[in-house]
Structures are given as structure tokens and as C-alpha cells.
Amino acid sequence: MKEMGISGKVAIVTGASSGIGRATALAFGREGAKVGLVARSEERLREVARQFAELPGQALVLPADVTVPADCERVVRTVVEAWGGIDILVNAAGIIANGTIENTSLEEWDRMFAINVRAAFYLMHLCAPYLIERKGNVVNVSSVTGLRAFPNVLAYCASKAAVDHLTRCAALELAPKGVRVNAVNPGVVVTELHRRGGMDEKAYAEFLERSKTTHPLGRVGRPEEVAELILFLASPHADWITGDTISIDGGRAQTCLR
């Protein structure tokens, strides 16, 4: 297996307690990276950190609410104090909720953007000096909904489109300083995202079954598959890729609404 060239690199991964963030943190750990694990639940982060005992990488548990600026500042400060700098930032924390233009409240809209966009922006802003110093990179976790419109997830779609354009604009600005910024755009992946967004187990099972028909490859994705793409984009193997929003969605972005 080809080494990814990130052994000893310092990474911050948000949303590291579950789903794509967790899978990414463990993928980095298997490659020997030093990973700052960020999420709200310290208990769940410690469960992830325990798995690093069998990996060549190192983990630092950093419970934080990424919508709180002081928490973001503490995360960055703690990682730099512990390991001397930052090479990679992965913004994987995110939420989803149903809602249309008619019934989405301003409070729901603001919450969606606070977690999905504002937190990603602020962590990129805070990490930029360290990423510039080390010629590092950022990978943002977006969604197929950033590329295509879907009904009844208005705020989520808009927030992920914002993440995509944030990615492109930051990539353009940071490229002359040697920093790459990319995003991945998953289709439906089996995580806790939708259940935390309000789906009960029955509705979620029906959603996953239906999603087999809306993804041309006939199945939904696994967090580990997305993590492998993030790992590639964060590695030297992707040194000539920046400003890209890369679909990993079983072909979902190629289809019309159905």
C-alpha cells in the first residue's frame, strides 16, 4: 500500500467523534499523523483516542463547540502548544435539518450556518498563519447538496453551497502562499447526521433504502470511503490540486431529481 506522506504531520479534525470526521481521524492516525480530535462530547472523543493506542499516530482530545469562537481559539492554541504548528485542517463538523423557504425559521437558518459555515471559516482563519508557515492544506466536508438543489433541506443546501465557495475563494487567496484548500462532496453516507437532524430509526431505514435508487451505483456510502479521499487530498499526492470540490456520491450529482 502506498504511503500517504503525512506521518508526523499535525492535523485538526472537527466532528471527530462520529461519522466522516471519526473515520478521517483514524485514517490519519493509521498514517502516523498527530491528530487534534475536536467535537462536543469528550467521552466519545476519548473512545476514538483509545483506538490510537494501536496506531502509529497520536491523538489529542479537544472537546469544543465549534460555534463558540473562544473554543476554536483554544483548540488551535492547544494544538500549536503541544505539537509546534498545524499542517492540516479538516472541517468535518456539520448538521442537517429539514425545512423549506416557507417554514425555515431565522433561528434554524442561523444555527445551520453557524455550524456548517461560520465555524469552518473561523477555524480556517485561525489556522491560516500556521498553514502558511508549513505549506499545509485544508479539506472541508461539503455535500452533494452544495452542487445540486434538493427540496426540503433549504438551509442545509445553502450552507453547503457556501462551504464550496468559501473553499474556492480561500484556495485562490492562499495558493500564492503555498496552502491548498479543497472540499469533498459526499452523497448519502451512513452516519449519525440524519438521525441527529430529526429522523427516527424507521424513517432513516426507509431513507437509506430509497437512497439505493437515487445513487446510480445502487448503494449509499461508508464514512471510510470519504475519509480515504480526504486523506488523499491532505497528502503530498494531491500537491497540484486546490480549489476543487470533489464529488464522492455514487453518481448522485449526475442525476435529476427523483
Please list the active-site residues.
156
**77 grid coordinates:** 492554541
Q: Are 72 and 126 in contact (CB under 8 A)?
A: yes
**Cα 65 to Cα 236: distance, rounded to the nearest angstrom:** 30
Grid-cell match 469552518, residue found: 120
Q: Which residue carries 473554543 as its cell?
A: 71
Residue burial 132-143, b: 16+ Cβ < 10 Å; e: rest: eebebbbbbbbb
Rounded Cα distance between 84 and 135, Å, is 14
Which of 149, 150, 146, 143 has the alpha carbon at shortest distance from 161? Answer: 146
What SS3 state is found at 167?
A: helix
CA distance 245 to 166: 11
- CA-closest candidate to residue 112, choices 90, 72, 143, 71: 143
**In whole angstroms, how large is the CA radius of gyration of the chain?**
17
Q: What are the angstrom distances between the C-alpha of 118 and each of 66, 69, 122, 145?
A: 9, 10, 6, 18
Does residue 91 contact residue 166 with C-beta atoms inside 8 Å?
Answer: no
- Grid coordinates of 104: 425555515
Return the DSSP state at 52: G
